[in-house]
Amino acid sequence: MDRWQGIQHVVVVGLGITGLSVVNYLQKYHPSVNVRVIDTRETPPGQEQLPAGVALHSGSWNVAWLLAADLIVANPGIALATPEIQQALAANIPVVGDIELFAWHVDKPVIAITGSNGKSTVTDLTGVMANAAGIATAVGGNIGVPALDLLAQPAELYVLELSSFQLETTSSLAVTAAAFLNLSEDHMDRYDGMAGYRQAKLRIFEHAQTAVVNADDTQTYPDAYSGRTVRFGLEQPAEFTTAQHDGKEVLLANGEVVLPTSDLSLVGRHNVANVLTVLALLDAAGVNYTNALPALKSYTGLTHRCQVVADNQGIKWVNDSKATNVASTLAALSGLTLNGTLYLLVGGVGKGADFTPLKPVLETLPLTLCCFGRDGDQFMPLHASAQRFDTMEAIIASIRPQLKVGDMVLLSPACASFDQFKNFMARGDVFAELAQRYA
C-alpha cells in the first residue's frame, strides 16, 4: 500500500526541531512533494535551517494553505481541537504527526514507551541495554532525536518515547512491544479530563504485538486488546517483579532471578519499576539481555533525572533537577532506602502548586529539609528540620561539614527553576558541579 499516492502538497504546522525533521524527511524521501510550513510564531526556531525553496508563513495561521493541502503534518504541540486544524479536518484533509510518517516508513522492529512519569529513563535504558546486547539500536522520539531523523541510522531496532500529544496523531504504528508506565494528572489544559488523557496514551497499544502494563496501576491496561499482555510491578502479582532470594531483594523475570536490586546504580523504587519495564520490553522484543546486565548495573540514569553525580566517601549526591512538580519529587522519594541522613533540596518557582502532599512522606524519612529559591518559604512548614537558604550554593556550604557515610544529598526541587536559573538543566549542572567540588 503506497500511502503517498496522490499526495502532492504537504503543509507542516510548527517548525522547531520536529518540524525541521519532517521537512528534511520529505525532501529526502519524497522530493516530488511540494512542502510548505506554517508557524504562528513571528520568528520560529529553525527557520534559518529551512532548505531553499520551502515556503514559510510565520506569525499567524494560513488557512488557505491548510485547505489546499493533501496532507497536514502537525507538531505535537498543536492540539487537534485548534479551530484551524478542525477546519482542515472538516474538509477531509488528513492530519498526522511525525510519528505517523515514521510508521509509514519503518521496516524494522519498534519498541514504544509512554506514561506520565519515567518514560525517558525507560526509553534510554532500553536503548542502552539493547545496544549492549549487540543489537544496533536507535533511540528517540519525544526524547533526544526526532523519530524521522533516526531513519538515517543503520538500526536493527528502534526505541521511541511517545507523548500523549504524539499519539493523538498516530494511528498505524505497528510495534513489537509497547509499555504504558503509569498515569497521573498532567496536561489538563489540553484534555477535557483524565479520561481523554488516558485514551490518548492507550493508542500506543493499537497495533502492538505485546502490551507491557503496570500491575500496580490498572489505568495502564488497555480497554480492549487481543495481543499478548505482560505485567511489571512492585506490589501486585506480575511477570516482571521483585522477590526475596537468599536474604536479598532480587529482580525476577518470569520466575527467574536476574540480579539483586542492590546491584543497581539507579536510585529510588520508581527506578526499580522502570528497570522491570525495560526487562519486559527487551524480553518481548526477543533481545537476550543477559550480556547487557553489566550495562544495567552501571547505568546511573539520565542527566537531571535521579542521576547519581557523585558517590564518594560513602556519600551519594543525586541530581533530580527534572523534578519540577510535586509528583516527580514524590516519585524520587518513594521507597528510598538510606543508611544515614537525607539532605533534600527543594524550592524555586512553585507555579501555584500545593506542596502539602509531601508532608506525610517527609515525616517517614531521616531528613534535613533544605529550602531555597523564590518559593522556598512554602516548604518550611512541611518538616521540623526545615532550614531556609537563599541559594543552592549556600545549602551545600552549610551542610558539607555535617555529611557522613551513608548520607544522601538529593536535589529534587518540586519547582520550576527560572527564578535563579535559565532552566532545570542549568540548575542540575550547578548542583553536579557543587557535588564534584565537595564530594
pLDDT tens string 170-212: 999 999 999 999 887 555 566 777 888 899 999 999 999 999 9
| 117 in a known ligand binding site | yes
- Cα dihedral value 358, 359, 365, 366, nearest 10: 120
Instruction: Give the C-alpha separation, 175 to 211, whole Å.
Output: 10
Q: At what angle do helices 424-438 and 392-399 cross, to 10 degrees?
A: 20
Neighbours of 208 (CB within 10 A): 25
Name the residue among 36, 323, 14, 274 with its Cα closest to residue 166.
Answer: 14
pTM of the entire predicted model: 0.82
Where does 101-298 sit in CATH, by number? 3.40.1190.10
Does position 83 have pLDDT exceeding 80, yes or no? yes
Judge contact between 113 and 119, C-beta under 8 A.
yes
Judge contact between 327 and 184, C-beta under 8 A.
yes
pLDDT tens string 395-439: 999 999 999 999 999 999 999 999 999 999 999 999 999 999 987
Name the residue among 351, 362, 364, 366 with its Cα closest to residue 414.
Answer: 351
Residue 418, CB half-sphere, CA atoms under 13 Å: how many? 1
In the block, residue with C-alpha cell 510565520: 58
Note the pLDDT of residue 186. 58
| 417 in a known ligand binding site | no
Question: Would you please indicate which residues are annotated as catalytic (active-site) residues?
Answer: 119, 142, 187
Where does 9-96 sit in CATH, by number? 3.40.50.720
Note the pLDDT of residue 384. 97
Task: Give every strand in the sheet of 256-260, ordered side by side.
Answer: 137-141, 157-161, 110-114, 175-180, 208-214, 228-232, 240-245, 248-253, 256-260
Neighbours of 151 (CB within 10 A): 21
How confident is residue 259, by pLDDT bands cut at 50, 70 and 90? very high
pLDDT tens string 107-156: 999 999 999 888 999 999 999 999 999 999 999 998 889 999 999 999 99
Residue 206: exposed, middle, or buried by beta-carbon count in 10 A (0-12, 13-18, 19+)? middle
| 75 in a known ligand binding site | no
Where does 307-438 sit in CATH, by number? 3.90.190.20
| 40 in a known ligand binding site | no
Sign of the Cα torsion 425, 428, 430, 436 reads negative
Q: Where are the domains of the chain?
A: 9-96, 101-298, 307-438
In the block, residue with C-alpha cell 512491544: 177
Does position 78 have pLDDT exceeding 70, yes or no? yes
Per cent of the chain over pLDDT 90 is 84
| 359 in a known ligand binding site | no
Per cent of the chain over pLDDT 70 is 98
Three-state SS string over the chain comes to CCCCCCCCEEEEECCHHHHHHHHHHHHHHCCCCEEEEEECCCCCCCHHHCCCCCEEEECCCCHHHHHCCCEEEECCCCCCCCHHHHHHHHCCCCEECHHHHHHHHCCCCEEEEECCCCHHHHHHHHHHHHHHCCCCEEEEECCCECHHHHCCCCCCEEEEECCHHHHHCCCCCCEEEEEECCCCCCCCCCCCCHHHHHHHHHHHHCCEEEEEEECCCHHHCCCCCCCEEEEECCCCCCCEEEEEECCEEEEEECCEEEEEHHHCCCCCHHHHHHHHHHHHHHHHCCCCHHHHHHHHHHCCCCCCCCEEEEEECCEEEEECCCCCCHHHHHHHHCCCCCCCCEEEEEECECCCCCCHHHHHHHCCCCEEEEEECCCHHHHHHHCCCCEECCCHHHHHHHHHHHCCCCCEEEECCCCECCCCCCCHHHHHHHHHHHHHHHC
| 248 in a known ligand binding site | no
Residue 229: exposed, middle, or buried by beta-carbon count in 10 A (0-12, 13-18, 19+)? middle
In the block, residue with C-alpha cell 550547578: 430
Instruction: Report angle CA 221, 225, 229 to the nearest 5 degrees.
Output: 60
| 118 in a known ligand binding site | yes
